Amino acid sequence: MYRYSFRFVVTTITILTANLLTTAISNYMTNYKNSFKPLIFTLIGMAITVVVFYPLFMKLEVWVTNISAKVVRSGRSLAGKYLGLLISFVAAMLVLVYFYARMWYHIDILKILLHVNIRGYIK
């Protein structure tokens, strides 16, 4: 049971981290689309996508899997097997939520939480 939970946590964190990084790179690339003709930019963008994302995907899975495993193991040593896994997963999700909210909505969740103004962002 623990092995399946562990695999779910690591896979979830890997998917969300890879998506966050690729979306950030794509958003950066589209800032330059008005500098080129549409077909030229499309071809350049596709080439850059392959050149950047191929090695990123090959390495990212290894990096995130190793980092996730270390975080989950440290949580396990602090709070026990299942509670440590849950705490590590929640902590990783909070970090990812921060960066997704920052990227998608340009909001700083830490400031919102510190000012106890979360109600305006949930409803």
Tell me if 20 sits within 8 A of 11, measured CB to CB: no
Burial profile 93-123: b = 16 or more Cβ within 10 angstroms, e = fewer? eeebeeebeeeeeeeebeebeeeeeeeeeee
Do the domain assignments include residue 57?
A: yes
pLDDT tens, 8-52?
887 788 778 878 887 888 888 888 878 888 888 888 878 877 877
Tell me if 82 sits within 8 A of 5, measured CB to CB: yes
Look at residue 115 in the predicted model and tell me its pLDDT: 76
Cα of first residue to Cα of last residue in the chain, in angstroms, is 36
- Residue found under tokens 């399946």: 4
Domain range spanning residue 69? 2-95
Domain count, the chain: 1
Cβ-Cβ contacts under 8 Å for 64 (sequence gap 6 or more): 10, 13, 14, 17, 18
Do the domain assignments include residue 118?
A: no
Do the domain assignments include residue 11?
A: yes
Task: Give the predicted TM-score (pTM) of the model.
Answer: 0.64
pLDDT tens, 69-120?
776 677 666 667 778 778 888 888 999 999 998 888 888 888 887 777 766 7
Do the domain assignments include residue 109?
A: no
